[in-house]
Amino acid sequence: MAVTIYEVAKKAGVGIGTVSRVLNNSSQISPETRDRVLKVIKTLSYQPHAMAQGLARKKSLIIAALVPFFTGHFYIELLKGIQQAVSRHKYDLILYSIEDSNNKDFYLKRALQQRRVDGVVLASLPLSEHYAKEFHRRKLPLVLVDMFHPEFDSITVNNQAGAYLAAQHLVRLGHRRLAMITGHLDCAPAQHRHRGFQKALNEAGIKLSENLMISSDCLPGEASSINDGFNKETGYLAMQQLLALNGKRPTGVFIASDIQALGAMRAVRESGLRIPDDIAIVGFDDIELAEYVGLTTMRQPMFQMGMQAAERLMALIDDPNSPRQHRRIATELVIRESCGAVKKVGRVR
pLDDT in tens, 2-52: 677 778 888 888 887 787 777 766 667 788 888 888 888 888 887 765 555
> Per-residue pLDDT tens for 64-102?
998 886 667 888 899 999 999 998 888 889 888 776 656
Is it the case that residue 345 has pLDDT exceeding 50? Answer: no
Nearest to 255 by CA among 204, 305, 304, 293: 293
Q: Which CATH number characterizes residue 114's domain?
A: 3.40.50.2300
**d(Cα 234, Cα 165) in Å, to the nearest integer?**
23
> Per-residue pLDDT tens for 196-231?
999 999 999 998 888 999 998 888 776 666 677 888
As a 3-state breakdown, the chain gives helix, strand, coil percent values, each rounded to 5, of 50, 15, 35
Do 12 and 128 share a domain, yes or no?
no
Q: What is the arithmetic mean of pLDDT over 145-171?
A: 95
Do 163 and 37 share a domain, yes or no?
no
Instruction: Check residue 26 and give its pLDDT.
Output: 64
DSSP calls for 37-53: HHHHHHHHT----HHHH
Do 29 and 115 share a domain, yes or no?
no
Do 231 and 254 share a domain, yes or no?
yes
Do 77 and 171 share a domain, yes or no?
no
Query: Residue 69 is which amino acid?
Result: F
DSSP calls for 292-335: HTT-EEEE--HHHHHHHHHHHHHHHHH-TTSPP-EEEEPPEEE-
Do 342 and 321 share a domain, yes or no?
no
Task: Identify the domain boundary among 36, 56, 76.
Answer: 56
Nearest to 206 by CA among 215, 214, 198, 217: 198
Is it the case that residue 115 has pLDDT exceeding 80? Answer: no
Do 252 and 283 share a domain, yes or no?
yes
Residue 93's SS3 state is: strand
Do 198 and 339 share a domain, yes or no?
yes
Q: What is the arithmetic mean of pLDDT over 283-298?
A: 94
Do 206 and 342 share a domain, yes or no?
yes
Q: Which CATH number characterizes residue 12's domain?
A: 1.10.260.40
Quick one: residue 101, left, alpha or beta (phi over 0 = left, psi -120 to 50 = alpha)? alpha
Domain containing residue 31: 5-56
Q: How many domains does the chain divide into?
A: 3
Instruction: Check residue 50 and give its pLDDT.
Output: 54
> Per-residue pLDDT tens for 237-283?
999 999 999 778 999 999 999 999 999 999 999 999 999 999 999 99
pTM of the model: 0.77
Radius of gyration of the chain from its Cα atoms, rounded to whole angstroms: 26
Do 218 and 341 share a domain, yes or no?
yes
Instruction: Check residue 49 and give its pLDDT.
Output: 59
Instruction: Check residue 348 and give its pLDDT.
Output: 40
Instruction: Check residue 53 and give its pLDDT.
Output: 54
Is it the case that residue 331 has pLDDT exceeding 80? Answer: yes
Do 252 and 179 share a domain, yes or no?
yes
Do 226 and 246 share a domain, yes or no?
yes
